[in-house]
Chain A
Amino acid sequence: MIKTTKKRFDIRITQANATVSETFELDKNIVRIQGLLLSSDKDDLLYYRGAQKIEINKEEYFPDNYESKLLMTGLNVSPKQRYYDLGGASAGNGRVQLTYKDTDDGRTVFAPYRVSLYLDCELEDLK
């Protein structure tokens, strides 16, 4: 039986114009990723300054410089529709790599912030 679960992975951006890369490991029983979502504790900084590359199972889903605002969702969207639909990406080796790049933007002043990657996962029930 297939069940769904949401996973959250965080990175901290402490310097302006920095690139931070981190690889996260999914649980072994996760077989597919249905969708993803980016969020932050300072939404304006993520929206205006952020761009990232996302790889799942060594396969590039979003290339370098793909802006974070294109993967964000506002509060007026119903919770079930907030995730960007990946159409059931295979989790494979379970490794998700997020390479995030902060770039100056004329509308914001830098302050350290958190970037959260949410994944909508399908997992195999081992029972």
Chain B
Amino acid sequence: MRESVIVTKLSIKLQGERKHFQVKLPSDITSIVGIEYSVRLMDMYPLLPVEPPREVINPDGTISLILPEDDSAVAIKSKFKANQFVGELRLQSYDHMNWFYAADVFANDANLNLCDVSDLYFRVKEYTHSIPRYEEVMQIPGISTLIQGWYMDALGKQYNQNLRYELGIYVWITTKEAS
């Protein structure tokens, strides 16, 4: 068996855009063994709304206000943020009923710096502190040479504007070894 990856790029331009697409697979395919995705934003990243001060309840019951720019260790611990939701992705193979892959697509891990006190001096970014990325492993045997896909944008909808970005879908497959 030989493992390889098929790259499919979707260009999203409109808020709430829904896309139906197909991924063509080679004729000697034996199974789908993994899926991964990535997001490349083409427009300037939208400005986030001004963060209000957060309330933290102390062990003695008193309430402290933490300002967004507060870099103290306590403030960092309370800065848990939701990852940026970008859209919904679903894939279906002709060899099986129903979706074989359904995922919420997120742009990044917004909490890489959570509880990392070194973040006070060396800012934690996704390109400095991220872990190695591997595909989501699965085993979808089949011989059909087409995957049907569906994607719906959520990023543009959230910011109520048309944001252009590219979604990369990587389908890892195994094929018969050439004899």
Where the two chains meet, the residues of A that have a C-beta atom closer than 8 Å to any C-beta of B are: 43-44, 46-48, 60, 62-67, 69-70, 72-77, 81-82, 84, 103-107
Contact = CB atoms under 8 A, between A and B. Distances in A.
Given A73-B131, A106-B44, 13 more contacts: A48-B127, A63-B4, A63-B5, A63-B7, A70-B38, A72-B127, A73-B132, A74-B127, A74-B130, A74-B131, A75-B129, A107-B44, A107-B45
Interface of B: 4-7, 9, 36, 38, 40-45, 112, 125-133, 168, 170
B7 A64 contact: yes
19 contacts: A44-B127, A47-B126, A47-B127, A60-B4, A62-B5, A65-B168, A66-B170, A67-B40, A67-B168, A69-B38, A70-B38, A73-B130, A74-B129, A75-B128, A76-B129, A81-B132, A84-B132, A105-B40, A106-B44
A62 B131 CA distance: 19
A47 B38 CA distance: 11
Nearest to B46: A106
Contact of A103 (B6, B36, B40): B40
B128 A74 contact: yes
Contacts of B131: 73-74, 76-77
B132 A77 contact: yes
Contacts of B6: 63
B133 A104 contact: no
Nearest to B44: A106
A69 B127 contact: yes
Nearest to B165: A106
Nearest to A103: B40
Contacts of B130: 69, 72-74
A6 to B, nearest CB: 16
B163 to A, nearest CB: 8
A56 to B, nearest CB: 13
B1 to A, nearest CB: 12
B132 A82 contact: yes
Given A69-B133, A72-B130, A74-B127, A48 B7 contact: no
A105 B126 CA distance: 15
Given A66-B7, A67-B38, A43 B127 contact: yes
A65 B166 CA distance: 11
A44 B41 contact: no
Identify the interface centre among A73, A76, A82: most chain B CB within 10 Å of its CB.
A76
A44 B129 CA distance: 11
Contacts of B125: 43-44
Across the A-B interface, the 3 shortest Cβ-Cβ residue pairs: A47-B127, A74-B129, A43-B127
Contacts of A60: 4
